[in-house]
Each structure stands twice: as C-alpha cells, then as structure tokens.
Chain A
Amino acid sequence: MTHRPVLKVENLQTRFKSVQRGKFVHAVDDVSIELYPGEIVGLVGESGCGKSTLGRTIVGLEKATSGRVLLDGVDLSTLSGAALRDSRRALQYVFQDPYSSLNDRQTVGEALDEALQIDGIRSRADRDRRTKELLDQVGLADVVKDRHTRELSGGQRQRVAIARSLAVNPRVLICDEPVSALDLSIRAQVMNLFLRLQKDLGVACLFIAHDLELVRQAASRVYVMYLGKIVEHGPSQELYDHPSHPYSQMLLASVPEANPIAERQRKVPLMVGEVPSPTNPPSGCRFRTRCPMAVDDCRQQVPPALKLSPGHDAACVFAKDLHRGKRSALLEADANAERVGALVPS
C-alpha cells in the first residue's frame, strides 16, 4: 500500500440549510480520508453522524460546501457536465435498500443493459455478453435476466444492484450499509461476495456500516466518525485492540458479548445524553458534551489528530494516554459527574 491513493477526500464539508433561519446543519465537517486500490475501508459511527452524507457527497449526490474529492489525482470539482459524469463513473455507490434502488419497471437484463449503455458500449451483442458475465460475477443464474426486479428476493436484488455498479468498471465502490437491510443468512453471502469481488477485481471499497463486528472482519482500515468529523482512524486490528479516542472506546464497549457470563460482568461506560444537534455543534471537541474525560481545553479548541502509531491517529488530547491503555479511567468515570472540567485522568 505504498502507491498513490485511488480516492482522496480533502477537508470535505457538507452542510444543509437548517429549518432555523440562517443556520446550517453541519453534516460533514472538514473530513479527509484516503482509499488505496483494492482495500476495504470501514466507516463507522452512530446513526446521524454523517456517514451516509459523506458517502453521498463523495459520489456527488450531495453538493460539497467546500473541500475536494480527488479520483486518481483528478480533482472532480474542476470538472462539469459530461466530463464530470464520465470521470465520476469510476466511483460507484451501493445503496442500503435494494428494494428501492432498482426500477420496478425494468427487468434485471434491462437494468444492467442500461448501465452498460451509459458506459458507452454501443454493440448489443457486447452488452449481452457483459450482462451474462456480470450476473455470473455476482453469483446469479442467467435466467434471472428476464425477471422483473420486483420478483427477486432482497439478497438477489442487492446482487443485481452490485452487478449494475460493476457494469461501469468502477475503481471505488462506496457501500452504504449494503447488508443491513438483508436477512442474517443472506448477509454473510453478500459480504463474501464483496470480499471476493474486491480480491478479484481490485476495487477499493468504502464500507459504511454500524455493525462493528462486520467491519472488523471485512475492513483493513477503519475510520470512526462522530457528528460530522473523523475522530479516529487506524488499521482495524490496531483500532479494535487499542481504541484511543473516548468515543471509539465507548462505541466498541457497547457491543454486547456473545457469552452471557461475560456479558453480565461487562462494564459499559454510559454514553450520557443525546448526540448534540449538528446545527449547533459544541465548540472545540465535538464529543466533549458526552465525554467523561472532557477538560477545559476541549472547549477551547478542536483537538488535532495525534499520531499514535503508523497509520493510527485520534483527535483527542488524551489520545496518547488512552492508546497506552488508560481504558480503566474511562470505564470507571462516573457518568453523572459534572461534565466539563470535572475529570482529569491522572
């Protein structure tokens, strides 16, 4: 992974006009991520933290307020019209809901054929051949081609949606919780399909999910997002073993144990309160309102991302302590104590 990133997102910001006059919802705020060819990268966080908006902004479904998206070193914001559509084609999106992401009026063959037409394949015979190939790649029988998409099951539809994304030979696939709408049994199948495709085709994959276990198994690197910002990023094994941002620690600690005895003894640090409104994000560190370790400094300035080990960084003033194993301080912190300036780990 020494080569150049295939997708580079620099200081991306997406905000929406709020219902309150003159205010903005800061859905994605100053986010930078990188994707290298052929890797699966996880993006985790609570609901409403801006994961999906980030994905949608990258593929251009939402307008970025500022920042750049570079695909193979080409800044997409400098392009427009047909040139933009042609370049952006290498960036595909897999939707969460396979029921609405396909047109009910089309058959599977028509849907794939249309994608191939968009990709500029003129000859009918070529398109038919490629359709067959794509169906084979996602593990669907050739007869499915003449079925209407509404006749298929959720898993089959998601396979068709994946095949359609692959039709245009993407370099990057952004998957927005692609399996969370599926049954558990189907989920594993579709996940394996993703792993196989990534291995066979070398497609880089940004995997947006809230299923932490899934991400741990699939992704080589993980970004943790909170309220529109990346709070921690690192190789997944390292990050799962040594979470170094209080938020990542709490997120990981909230995953229930499969073993009931271990589950009963498990200490769960209470995440106090609700996620603050992205319309009025807290000053400084965005997590400080819910963080048991927050100090005065957290209010004053946005904590910079601290490098902890190669490729692992966290945006917290205590990141280094936490990385060295100061987990207990957090777990034992009294959740009901006064938030700001109350607890300073020794």
Chain B
Amino acid sequence: MDKLKPIFARLNKFPRVALVVIGLFVALGTFAPWLAPQDPSAQNLLQGGAGPSVAHWLGTDHLGRDTLSRLIIAANTSLVSVGSVLIIAMTIGILMGTIAGYHRGWVDDLLMRVVDVGLSVPSLIVALAVIGIVGPGYWTMVLALALAWWPMSGRISRAVAVSIMSKPHIEALRVLGASPWRIYFGHLLPGTIGAVMVYATADAGTAALAVATLSFLGLGIQPPTPEWGQMLVDALPYLESDPRQVILPGLALTAAVIGFNTLGEAIALNRIPKPLTRRMLAMRRIEVAGWGKENSDA
C-alpha cells in the first residue's frame, strides 16, 4: 500500500489525465453507435477467443464477438445508466434538500428523518431488494440505484442549502423584501446545484461501479447488451485460457472509476473561490498600465 501512495499522489496532481480519460469515456459513450467498428452482437463461433487481428483489433470473445466494439458500446450503456441514475437521484435529493434547508423546522425534521432511513440501509441492498421484487431489467436497475442513491445527495444538498440560507447575502435579500420564489430559484437552487454537482462527479465513479456490480451479478443490464460488468462475468469461465477478455473490461471500468474520483476531487479543490484568478490578475495589470498612460497624456 505504501508503494502505491506516491502513485496515487501523482495521479491526484494530474486532473488533466483524469479529464482526458473521462472526456474519452463520455465521447465514446455518446458516439458509440457510430464509433464501434463492428456489430457488437454479431457472433462468429468459428473465430471465438481469437487474438488481436486487423479485423478485430482487440480480438474476440468466446462467441466470436468483436471485443473493441463491445467495449465501446459498453461505455455508452454505462454512461447512459450512470447519467440516468445520478440525474434522477440528484433531482430528488436536491429538491428535498433545498426544501428542507429553506423551510427548516418540522419540514426539515420530517424530510431528514426520511433521508436518515434511506441512509441507514446499504444502497446496494436497497437496489437488490427492489430488483428482487420487480425483476431484473435495465430501467429497474436504474430506478433501484436512484432510489438507493438519493438520500446521500439529499443530505449533502440540505447541508449546502442551510449554509447558503444563513449567509448574510440571503438575509440581505429577505430584508430587501425579495419573494420566497426569487430567493429559492434565483439564489438557493443555483448555489446548491453548483456545489452538489461536485459531489456528483466523484459519485459517478461509484455509480458506474454499482452498475457493473449489478450487471456482474446478472441483476442489471441483461445480455446481449454489452456492459463491462457483464462482459467480466461472461469471460470469467475462460479466465485461464483467455485472460484478455477479463482484463480489458476490467481496465476500462477501473479507468472510468479512478478518472471520476480524481476529477471530482480536483473540481472540489478548485472550486474554493479564489479572490483573483491568474487571468484576472493579468487583465488587471494591463488595465492598470492603461491608467498610467491616460494620466501621462493628460
């Protein structure tokens, strides 16, 4: 573990690498249907388990499906499902959190007790229970994960909302006689969304892992739709004869998760408002130089 520490420390210093990885992931995910060189579901049992070739750059799996295409399409699956989970979870969480933070009092107590109940149950178990009741499926998984995910974002956005509400600039608005709508939609909601988005970036990695986990267990994305977790479980019986089929989706998943975490951390650190950014300082210098000129002209 000690040997790994400097590697992690270095990784944290390169949010740009994380940005590229995540950028690649998002780009591949978005344009996957056009980028995938071959049909990811086209089987060719005669070429099952083949190594890299001109036709199949990363080889084929045991059913002879093109691994590269499957990896790319899996990025799309992952992106869409993680995005949906987070959007649903954050919408519920931010709404409940900001309402609790705005109203305080019994509304706050009630909503936060609900959040407490949600937080007290491990999220994967909630998801498993929901899937167990409704039955496995793509949207079932998304909804189940969203259901498991929202309490955390609710708790975070409530904390952010409370801190924003107690800031003097909100009090100043109240003294000015601003309507509750203006305070809520004009100041509280944008401020909270901005802060909670940071947590969402870091959370995206965990969500991607959860999607893969559920798919690995056969409870999430169903075959034949390619998904990293499901590719892993597909290739598991051939671990000894063809480890590449396990390693490749594993690497993709690892890169995405670490990328999201590093990026989230970097964004969180950069978001501490600086009095003046480097660009502003440079502009200020130019402006001040301009003033001098005006004075000498006069």
Using a CB–CB distance below 8 Å, which chain A residues touch chain B? 59-61, 82, 85-86, 88-89, 91-93, 95, 97, 100-105, 114-115, 118-119, 150-151, 161, 164-165, 167-168
Q: How far is the CA of A151 from the CA of B191 in the complex (A)?
A: 19
Which residue of the partner chain, among A91, A100, A118, A165, contacts B167 with CB atoms under 8 Å? A100
Q: How far is the CA of A101 from the CA of B173 in the complex (A)?
A: 9
**Is the interface on chain B under 10, 10 to 19, 20 to 34, or 35 or more residues?**
20 to 34
Which residue of the partner chain, among A61, A85, A102, A105, contacts B177 with CB atoms under 8 Å? A85
Does B239 sit at the interface, judged by CB under 8 A?
A: no
Does B280 sit at the interface, judged by CB under 8 A?
A: yes
CB pair B179 A85 closer than 8 Å: yes
B177: which A residues are within 8 A, CB to CB? 85-86, 88-89, 118, 168
Does B292 sit at the interface, judged by CB under 8 A?
A: no
Q: How far is the CA of A119 from the CA of B175 in the complex (A)?
A: 12
CB pair B167 A61 closer than 8 Å: no
Does B276 sit at the interface, judged by CB under 8 A?
A: yes
**For window 173-230 of chain B, which residues contact chain A by CB distance below 8 Å?**
173-179, 182, 186-187, 190-191
Count of A-B contacts judged by CB separation below 8 Å: 65
Please report whether the interface of chain B is mostly helix, strand, loop or mixed according to DSSP: helix
Which residue of the partner chain A has the closest CB to B168?
Answer: A101
Does B289 sit at the interface, judged by CB under 8 A?
A: no
CB pair B190 A95 closer than 8 Å: no
A92: which B residues are within 8 A, CB to CB? 175-176
19 A/B residue pairs, CB under 8 Å, sorted by A: A60-B175, A61-B175, A82-B179, A85-B179, A88-B175, A93-B171, A93-B172, A100-B169, A102-B169, A102-B172, A114-B178, A118-B173, A118-B176, A118-B178, A150-B273, A164-B172, A165-B172, A165-B175, A168-B177
Least CB distance from A1 to B in Å reads 26
CB pair A61 B174 closer than 8 Å: yes
Q: How far is the CA of A346 from the CA of B276 in the complex (A)?
A: 65
**For window 137-182 of chain B, which residues contact chain A by CB distance below 8 Å?**
167-169, 171-179, 182
Does B122 sit at the interface, judged by CB under 8 A?
A: no
CB pair B175 A93 closer than 8 Å: yes
Q: How far is the CA of A114 from the CA of B175 in the complex (A)?
A: 13
Which residue of the partner chain, among A60, A102, A104, A105, contacts B174 with CB atoms under 8 Å? A60
10 tightest A-B CB contacts, nearest first: A85-B177, A101-B168, A89-B177, A103-B169, A93-B175, A95-B168, A100-B168, A118-B178, A59-B175, A118-B176
Which residue of the partner chain A has the closest CB to B275?
Answer: A150
Q: How far is the CA of A82 from the CA of B178 in the complex (A)?
A: 9
A151-B276, A151-B280 known; A61-B176 Cβ under 8 A: no
Least CB distance from A119 to B in Å reads 8
CB pair B174 A118 closer than 8 Å: no
A92-B175, A118-B176, A164-B176 known; A97-B168 Cβ under 8 A: yes
